[in-house]
Amino acid sequence: MTQQLTGAATTSGARTRWWRDAVIYQVYVRSFADSDGDGIGDLRGIEERLPYLAELGADAVWLTPFYASPQADGGYDVADYRVVDPLFGTLDDAQSLLRTAHRLGLRVIVDVVPNHTSDRHVWFREALAGGPARARYHFRPGRGPEGELPPNDWQSVFGGPAWTRVSDGSWYLHLFAPEQPDLNWENPEVRAEFDSVLRFWLELGGRGVDGFRIDVAHGMVKAAGLPDIGTAEQVRMIGSQTLPFFDQDGVHEIHRSWRTLLDSYPGERIGVAEAWAPSAERLALYVRPDELHQAFNFQFLRCRWDAAAMRTVVDDSLAATASVGAPTTWVLSNHDVVRHVTRYGGGAAGLRRARAAALLMLALPGSVYLYQGEELGLPEVTDLPDELREDPSFFRGAGQDGLRDGCRVPVPWTDEGPSYGFGPGPGWLPQPESWGAYSVGAQTGDPGSTLELYRAALALRRRLDGLGDGPMSWLEGPPGVLVFTRPGFVCTVNTLPGAVELRVPGRPLLSSAAPDISGESVRVPGDSCTWWAI
Ligand code: GLC
How many angstroms separate the first and last alpha carbons of the chain?
18
Q: How confident is the model at residue 435, as a pLDDT?
A: 97
For ligand 1, what atom is nearest to the CA of residue 175?
6
Q: Is the CB of 336 under 6 A from ligand 1?
A: yes
User: Residue 450 corresponds to which amino acid?
Assistant: T
Q: Measuring CA to CA, how many Å separate 31 from each of 43, 64, 108, 409?
A: 11, 10, 18, 6
Q: What is the DSSP string of 351-403?
A: HHHHHHHHHHHHHSSSEEEEETTGGGTPPP-----GGG---HHHHTS--SSS-
Atom index in ligand 1 nearest the CA of residue 113 equals 12
Helices (H) and strands (E) in the chain, counts: 15, 22
Considering 85, 215, 291, 336, which one is annotated as catalytic? Answer: 215
pTM, rounded to two decimals: 0.95
Q: How much is the pLDDT for 5?
A: 38
* Rounded Cα–Cα distance for residues 287 and 293 (Å): 6
* Nearest-angstrom CA–CA distance, 51 and 190: 38
Confidence at residue 324, expressed as pLDDT on a 0 to 100 scale: 96
Q: Which of 138, 149, 175, 146 lies closest to 160, judged by CA?
A: 175
Sequence-ordered alpha helix ranges (H) in 59-121: 91-103
- pLDDT, residue 139, reads 98
Per annotation, catalytic residue among 93, 274, 380, 405 = 274
pLDDT tens digits in sequence order for the chain, 534 residues long: 333 333 333 333 433 599 999 999 999 999 999 999 999 999 999 999 999 999 999 999 999 999 999 999 999 999 999 999 999 999 999 999 999 999 999 999 999 999 999 999 999 999 999 999 999 999 999 999 999 999 999 999 888 899 999 999 999 999 999 999 999 999 999 999 999 999 999 999 999 999 999 999 999 999 999 999 998 777 777 777 789 999 999 999 999 999 999 999 999 999 999 999 999 999 999 999 999 999 999 999 999 999 999 999 999 999 999 999 999 999 999 999 999 999 999 999 999 999 999 999 999 999 999 999 999 999 999 989 888 888 887 777 654 445 799 999 999 999 999 999 999 999 999 999 999 999 999 999 999 999 999 999 999 999 998 899 999 999 999 999 999 999 999 999 999 999 999 999 999 999 999 999 999 999 999 999 999 999
Q: Which has the closest alpha carbon to 291: 317, 319, 260?
A: 260
**How far away, in angstroms, is 335 Cα from ligand 1 center?**
9
Query: Which residue's C-alpha comes closest to atom 4 of ligand 1?
Result: 76
Does the beta carbon of 42 lie inside 6 Å of ligand 1? no
Q: How far apart are CA 405 and CA 393, in angstroms?
A: 10
The predicted pLDDT at position 16 comes to: 58
Q: Is the CB–ligand 1 distance for residue 179 below 6 Å?
A: no
Residue 402: its pLDDT value, please?
52
DSSP collapsed to 3 states, 404-449: CCCCCCCCCCCCCCCCCCCCCCCCCCCCCHHHHCCCHHHHCCCCCC
Residue 248 and residue 138: Cα distance in Å, rounded?
16
* Cα→Cα distances 139→30, 126, 183, 184, 284, Å: 33, 13, 10, 9, 32
Residues 271 and 277: their CA atoms lie apart, in Å, by: 17
Residue type, 77: D
In short, whether 435's Cβ falls inside 6 Å of ligand 1 is no
Q: Three-state DSSP class for 120? A: coil
For residue 215, indicate whether it is catalytic.
yes
Which 3-state string (H, E, C) describes 15-33?
Answer: HCCHHHCCEEEEECHHHCC
* pLDDT attached to residue 235: 73
Q: What is the best residue among 111, 215, 405 to mutate for testing ligand 1's pocket, by most ligand atoms within 8 Å of CB?
A: 215
What is the C-alpha separation between 340 and 374, in angstroms, rounded?
Answer: 8
| 343 Cα: distance to centroid of ligand 1 (angstroms) | 20
- 320-363 pLDDT per residue, tens: 999 999 999 999 999 999 999 999 999 999 999 999 999 999 99
How distant, in Å, are the alpha carbons of 95, 190, 373 from that of 195? 20, 9, 33
76 lines ligand 1 (CB under 6 A): yes
